[in-house]
A and B are shown apart, each in its own frame.
Chain A
Amino acid sequence: MQDLVKEIVRGCMDSSSLDLQPDTDLWSAGITSMQVVRVMIAIEEEFEIELPEEALTRETFSSVQAITQAVRDLTGAPCVTETAA
């Protein structure tokens, strides 16, 4: 799941050169409000979920890891260790 989230984030940030790691701070990497919107929509469509308002915080979109955790919290998917692609 984390790898899929990572590819979604990479695609939405329009930054193929970014060295995107699961814990890369997306705010420091310059993610914009429009890109956050694109990430949220893509995540909701990909995982067929709706992120509740209380999940739409700066923290949720702070890293691939944090976004993945928010998805897991909603889907009940187990938290498994994934290798970084």
Chain B
Amino acid sequence: MPGVRDLPSTSTRNGGAHSPREASAILAENAVRADRQASFPAESVAALHHAGLLNAACPTDYHGLGCTLEDLIQIGIELGRGCGSTAMIWAMHQVQVACLVRHGGGKVLDLLPSIVTGGTLVASVTSERGIGGSLRTSSAAVVPDGDMVRLEKRAPTVSYGQQAGAFLITARRTADAPATDQVAVYAEADQTSLTPAGPEWNPMGMRGTCSPGFDVVATVPATHVLPVGFGEIAEATMVPLSHLLWTACWMGIATDAFRRAQSVVRQRTRSDGNHVEPRLAAAGAALAQTRALLTEAARRYQPIWTDPAALGAHGGPTLTLLLNDLKVLGSTSTVDVARSALEICGMAGYSEDGPVSVARHLRDLYSARLMIGNERLLSTNARLSLMKKV
């Protein structure tokens, strides 16, 4: 099984560290191939590792870059401009590493430096067959076995599962625990067996994330069960950071689509000085609106990002409402931007090839509404809106 740990540690481009923009250019070079072949963008992920960006969210104490929230958002946008799949792999990995750093406890923290320096990708195993997409519910349970624990989980999707060097798996605390009493378990690839389950990976978009289903079996030391309940991990780190970074990546994809439409309009303006394109203005406004909400959500989450213990004072229904709003807006407004770009670019935009193609952008962005389904978030927000003070 090829792993990121096996990838070359140097990039094929500059032979040195890259800025996010330079890394994004490498991602763009590999994006079409990953999309066409639904294959893992190994060279792009290696470039991120080489640039140090793979562990941007990890504190410097653990050999990461220790980026601020705003830095992470900017990186997500930049990478999304190059390749949606690679950007999302980056974002999902940031979230898993942040969960480990912020909630991992002594034994797991001891393992972090090797994860970071080795370029190990950490994948999440949260969804489960028979449960649907409910993050906060598990059927699988942790079963003690001496100093070890074992768990089995039927996951309908595990992004970059076959390429990951480690996993963060949710399960019920014990076989007797209710479905909502969950823990997160850290498991390295050699402690985990993945058996492909379900259809072959051949989706509409985000094809490079390689996210098919697996039956997962992990046997790990009991100390790999994170000491904090998963409910707190989800609320303090996993959910907010996911919504912020996913939205950043989607914005990056939409920004590239906008840029392509802009180049077409500029060309038309050169031949017709009176040419105006209101759809470009509307797309620009949608990007600005999404960016503004992203900034506001990051600002509201900042105290908890600084210190997870601030969850009590700064977390709760109003933050959940805002983050859900962000995810729903980000996942739909970016499609609107790419759709406007398609209309502006016409057949050249509809083509899968060429400098103003926005086909991959649109296909990738349609995944956004399914990642923690918007209907579920809107249903939650319908309830939370009863609390909203306006």
Q: How many residues of B contact A (CB 8 A)?
A: 22
Mark interface residues in B353-390 (1 if CB within 8 Å of A CB, else 0). Answer: 00000000000000000000000000010011011010
B313 an interface residue at 8 Å Cβ cutoff? yes
Supposing A56-B318, A59-B316 touch, asked if A33 and B311 sit within 8 A by C-beta, the answer is no
Contacts of B188 in A (CB 8 A): none
Structural contact, B318 and A53, CB atoms closer than 8 A: yes
Residue of B with least CB distance to A60: B316
Rounded to whole Å, the gap between the CB of B387 and the closest CB of chain A is 5
CA distance A27 to B233 in the complex (A): 13
Question: Number of contact residues on A: which range applies?
Answer: 10 to 19
Whether the pair A57, B320 counts as a contact (CB closer than 8 A) is no
B314 proximity list for chain A (CB < 8 A):
57
Q: Separation in Å of the B12 CB from the closest CB of chain A? A: 47
The one of B231, B313, B380, B383 that contacts A27, using a Cβ cutoff of 8 Å: B231
Does B380 contact A59, Cβ atoms closer than 8 Å? no
Task: State the CA gap A59–B232 with chains docked (Å).
Answer: 13
Q: Is chain A's interface secondary structure helix, strand, loop, or mixed overall?
A: loop
Q: Does B336 contact A (CB under 8 A)?
A: no
Q: Taking the complex as formed, is B315 at the interface, i.e. its CB lies under 8 A from any CB of chain A?
A: yes
Main secondary structure of the interface of B (DSSP, over half): helix
Contact check: which of A28, A36, A37, A59 meets B312 at CB < 8 Å? Answer: A59
Chain A residue, CB-CB nearest to B318: A56
Does B39 sit within 8 A of A, measured CB to CB?
no
B228 to nearest A CB, angstroms?
11
Contact of B380 among A28, A33, A53, A62 (CB under 8 A): A33
A53 to B389, CA, bound (A): 6
Q: Is the CB of B315 within 8 A of A58?
A: yes
Pair A58/B386 contact, Cβ less than 8 Å: no
Q: Is A41 an interface residue (CB 8 A)?
A: yes
Complex Cα distance A61/B313, Å? 11
A contact residues around B320 at 8 Å (CB): 33
Which of B231, B312, B383, B386 contacts A62, CB < 8 Å?
A: B312
B317 at the interface (CB under 8 A from A): yes
Bound CA–CA A48/B311 (angstroms): 28
In the assembly, what is the distance between CA of A58 and CA of B384, in Å? 13
Contact A37 B317 (CB under 8 A): yes
Does A40 interact with chain B (Cβ within 8 Å)?
Answer: yes
* B178/A58 in contact, CB under 8 A: no
Q: Given the complex of chains A and B, what is the CA–CA distance between A22 and B30 in angstroms?
A: 58
Q: Is the CB of A33 within 8 A of B315?
A: no
**Does B59 count as interface, using CB distance less than 8 angstroms?**
no
Q: A76 near B: Cβ within 8 Å?
A: no
**Cβ of A78 < 8 Å from any Cβ of B?**
no
| Residue numbers in A under 8 Å from B302 (CB-CB) | none
Of A33, A37, A52, which contacts B389 at CB under 8 A?
A: A52
Contact with B along A23-61 (1 / 0, CB 8 A): 000011010011011001100000000101100111111
CA–CA, A76 to B384, complex, Å? 27
B386 touches A41 (CB 8 A): yes
- What is the bound-complex CA distance between A65 and B20, given in angstroms? 49
Residues of B participating in the A interface, judged by any CB pair closer than 8 Å: 178, 180-181, 229, 231-232, 235, 311-318, 320, 380, 383-384, 386-387, 389
User: Ordered nearest first, which 8 A-B pairs have the shortest CB separation?
Assistant: A58-B316, A59-B312, A57-B316, A58-B315, A53-B389, A34-B383, A37-B383, A56-B318
A binding-site residues for B, Cβ under 8 Å: 27-28, 30, 33-34, 36-37, 40-41, 50, 52-53, 56-62
20 residue pairs bridging A and B, Cβ less than 8 Å apart:
A27-B232, A28-B229, A30-B178, A30-B181, A33-B320, A33-B380, A40-B387, A41-B386, A52-B389, A53-B389, A56-B316, A56-B389, A57-B312, A57-B313, A57-B314, A58-B312, A58-B313, A59-B312, A59-B313, A62-B312
